[in-house]
Amino acid sequence: SVSRQGVVASMGYWNNEAWQWRLEWTVPLLPSEDDDSEALAILLVEVQPVRGSEDRRKWIPDLAGMFSVVVK
């Protein structure tokens, strides 16, 4: 993302009552990253912020109480 510490409000806009994601990348994506970008867009369709709510982070551990980070 252009804004690594950005808030959700800077990564989209309200279109009537529906949130529209508008992600901007710091550099053009490589062809190998296009599929990942499309997969992220599909996941984000289900993520709708609550209008008027402040941003917050929420990390949910797995059953072993651990957090996962995927590095490619």
Q: What is the pLDDT of residues 20-50, one digit of tens each?
A: 999 888 889 999 899 988 998 898 888 888 8
Decide if 67 contacts 59 (C-beta within 8 A). yes
Q: Is the pLDDT of residue 72 over 60?
A: no
Decide if 14 contacts 51 (C-beta within 8 A). yes
Q: What percent of the chain has pLDDT over 90?
A: 15
- DSSP helix, strand, coil percent of the chain (3-state; round to 5): 25, 10, 65
Q: Parse the chain into domains and list their residue ranges.
A: 8-44
Per-residue pLDDT at 66 = 72
Q: Which of 40, 47, 51 shows the shortest CA–CA distance to 14? A: 51
Whole-Å CA distances, 41 to 17, 52, 57, 62, 63 = 19, 23, 19, 24, 27
Span 51-66, mean pLDDT? 76
